[in-house]
Amino acid sequence: MFWISAVLGGDQRAIAGLHNGWASKQMTGTEAINIYKHEIARSNEVLAEADLDAPPRWWPPAFVFEAPPLSDGREVLFRVLSETSVHAGHLDIVRELTDGHQHLVVE
């Protein structure tokens, strides 16, 4: 919602809906999955229309995100991919520590 819909797409609904993700309202797993699926569909719509050579359509004020603006849509996508890979790696470590199994071992 933040990087694709708000920053890349300038979607006013997404911008208005931004909040501290660590302080989200409680919800069921089903509600969380439905929101996630909705945001995936919206992200796909934004990406289908995005000009990746153009600058982001919105940049958050410093009190929301203290970093200089990214120069174009490709940088925004790279940020999404790098953050996703980092967080997926964190979850994989937790899973390995929990079940003791490594699913992919690169020698």
**Total domains, the chain:** 1
What are the tens digits of pLDDT across the range 53-86? 999 999 999 988 889 999 999 999 999 988 887 7
Q: Is position 106 within any domain?
A: no
Distance set, CA 47 to CA 11, 33, 61, 87, 88 (Å):
12, 21, 23, 22, 22
DSSP 29-70: HHHHHHHHHHHHHHHHHHHHH--TTSPPS----TTT--SPPP
In percent, how much of the chain has pLDDT > 70?
97
- Residue 105 lies inside a defined structural domain of this protein: no
Give the domain extent around 47.
Answer: 2-99
Q: Is the confidence at residue 15, as pLDDT, over 70?
A: yes
Contacts of 55 (CB under 8 A, 6+ apart): 69, 70, 71, 72, 73
Residue, of 106 and 27, whose pLDDT is higher? 27
- Does the residue 27 lie in any domain? yes
